[in-house]
Amino acid sequence: MPYRAPVAEYRFLLDHVVGFPQVAATDRFAEATPDVVAAMLTEAGRVCEEVLSPLQRSGDTQPTRLENGVVRMSPGFGEAYHALADAGFLGVAGPVEHGGLGLPMSVATALNEMMSGSCLASHLTPLMAQGQIEALAHHAPQWMQALYIPKLASGEWSATMNLTEPQAGSDVGALTTRAEPLGDGRYRITGQKIYITGGDNDFAANVSHLVLARLPDGAPGTKGISLFLVPKFLPREDGTPGTPNALRVVGLEHKLGLHASPTCTMSYEGATGWLVGEEHKGMRCMFTMMNNARLGVGMQGIGVAEGAFQHALAYAMERRQGRTPVGDKRGAILEHADVRRMLATMKAELFAARAIAFDCAAAIDMETATADPAWAARAALLTPIAKAFGTDTGLKLADTGIQIHGGMGVIEETGAAQYWRDVRVTAIYEGTNGIQAMDLVGRKMTDGGEAAQALIDEIEGGTEAARDRLPDLAGPVWQAAETLREATEAVVATTDPTDRFAGSVPYLKGFARVLGAHYHLRAALAEGGTGPRTALAQVYVRRLLPEHTGLLAEARAGGADLYALSDEDLAA
C-alpha cells in the first residue's frame, strides 16, 4: 500500500494539543505562520509520498554495497536525498544566515516523521545532516559554520557522527581514538569507529564526519574527550573538495533491516581534523547533536508505526476470512473484534507517542525563543521519553501489524515484516532505551523532580478543565497522574542508584502512559467532547492507561529481587 502523509493529523496536534501557536507567537519564530507551516507540511508530504515511498521495498531488496572502498547506494536513494535537500528539508531548522530555513523544531519533527514513515532507510542520512547543522551552529567557529553548514543544508555534502568503538559500545568514555595537535589549528586523528550511519555514499561531493577523540592531555573517561570535524576530502581555499583525507570505510554492517542505509566501520589513519568547541568538552558539543538525534530517532519509530498501521489497516479492510459478526457474515477481517481491537489500540498508541514527541519539540522551540529555564527543563525531561516511547511504539505497532496479516505477515513480499526489521535498531541507537530511562530517573531528576512535578500539575489541571464535560475520561486520567506523582516522589527519594535504575524503564513507560492519556483528553476537548477523537481517547483510557498501575508499581520495586538471583541461578 502506498504511504499517505498524515498532514491533517500534524496540524491538529500542533494547533490544538501541544500549543504550537505560542511558538509561532514568539519573535524568534514569527515566520512560522499557519500558511508557511501548512505549505511546508504539504510539500513534504508530496515528496514523501511520490519520491521516498517507492523506495521502501526496492531499498530492502537492493541494499548498499562496498566496492573498492566506495559505498554504492541503492538505486534512487541519491536522487531522493537531493529532492529532500532541494525542498529545504535538511536545513529546515538551521540558521538562515548559513542557508537554513530557520523554522521551528516542531516543523522539522513532523517532516522527520513523514520521511521515516515513507522510507526509514532514506531518512537516516538526512537526520545526521540536521543534527550536525545544529551542533556546528552552537559550537563551531564562524569559519567552520560558514563553510560547512551551507554545504550540509543544500545536500551538496552529507554528515555523520562518530562515537562508538569496538571495545567501548555505549561506554563512550572508553574510546581510544587519538587526536594529536599539529600546531597550526589542525589535528591528526587516529582510531576506528563502528556503526557509523552514512559513513560514505556515492551522491554527496564530500562527507563531514564529527569524531570524538582524546587529546594527549585528555583525562580518562568522558571528561577528557574532544570533538573534531574530519572531512572525507580536505576543502580547498574556495571550499570545493580537494585531496582525500586519511580515512576510509573498511566494512559495512550486515544488518537485520535498513539494508539501503550504509552502516560503516570507519578507519581514521592520521586524518586531518579541526576542533569543534573547547578542548576536552567534546561530549557537551556532541550532546547537542545527540539530543537532536534522540528526538529524531523517536520520530523514526513513530513514522514506522504510522507506516505499519496504514499497511495493516489496508490489509484488514481487504482480507476476507471466517464468519464476521455483521452484514453477510463474510466481511473483511476488520469486522472481527480482535482485529478491530488491535487496529484501534494501534491508532490510540500512535497518537500518544506522536503527541509526546511534538510536545517535546514545542518545548525545545520555546526554550530557543525565550531562553526560559523552565522550557529547557521541560524539553530535557521529555527528550528521553519521546525517544524511548516513540521507538517502543514503532516496535509494538510493527509487530502488531505482522499479527494482523497472519501468516502473510512473515512472508517478505507483503512488506509487513520489513517495518519490524527496519525499526528494531531504533530502540538501540542514540542511547538504548534503557539508557534513556536511566537518564530520566538520574540526570533529569537532579532538580528534585521539579520539572516532572510541573508536568504532572499540568496533567491534573487539564483533568479539572475536562471534569464537567468528560467525567468518564477526566477521572481516570487524574487518578493516574496522582499515581505518577507518588512514583516520582519515590524515585527522587531513592538514594541507591541500583534501586533507582532497576525501576527506570517501567517508570519511563508509566510516565508515557499517563502523558498519552493527557494528550488524548486534550484532543477530545478540542473537538467538543463528541466525535472520533473522543472515541479514540476512550479506547486509550479504558484499554491502555490501566497499564500505568503495574508499571509504576514495578518502578518502585527496587533491585534487591534482581540481585537475589546469582549469576549461577540465571544460568541454571
What does the alpha-carbon distance between residue 151 and residue 145 come to, in Å, rounded to a whole number? 10
Nearest to 300 by CA among 193, 390, 191: 390
What does the alpha-carbon distance between residue 84 and residue 107 come to, in Å, rounded to a whole number? 14
Residue with cell 563551531: 140
- The DSSP string of 398-430 is HHHHHHHHGGGGGSGGGSHHHHHHHHGGGGTSS
CB atoms near residue 131 (< 10 Å): 26
User: Looking at the DSSP assignment, which residues form a beta bridge with residue 160?
Assistant: 209
Strands (E), 129-170: 157-162
Amino acid at 54: P
Residue with cell 537518564: 439
What does the alpha-carbon distance between residue 46 and residue 231 come to, in Å, rounded to a whole number? 33
What does the alpha-carbon distance between residue 418 and residue 56 come to, in Å, rounded to a whole number? 9
What does the alpha-carbon distance between residue 244 and residue 262 come to, in Å, rounded to a whole number? 20
DSSP, res 299 = H
What does the alpha-carbon distance between residue 545 and residue 536 come to, in Å, rounded to a whole number? 12
Length of the chain: 572
Percent helix, strand and coil across the chain, each rounded to 5?
60, 15, 25
Residue with cell 570533538: 227
Catalytic residue, candidates 113, 165, 306, 430: 430
Residue with cell 563531514: 208
DSSP, res 337 = H
What does the alpha-carbon distance between residue 569 and residue 571 come to, in Å, rounded to a whole number? 5
The torsion angle over the Cα atoms of residues 466, 471, 473 and 474, rounded to 10 degrees, is 50
What does the alpha-carbon distance between residue 102 and residue 29 come to, in Å, rounded to a whole number? 8
Helix (H, G, I), strand (E, B), or coil: what is residue 206? strand
430 flagged as catalytic: yes
Amino acid at 364: I
CB atoms near residue 459 (< 10 Å): 22
Would you name the residues annotated as active-site residues? 430
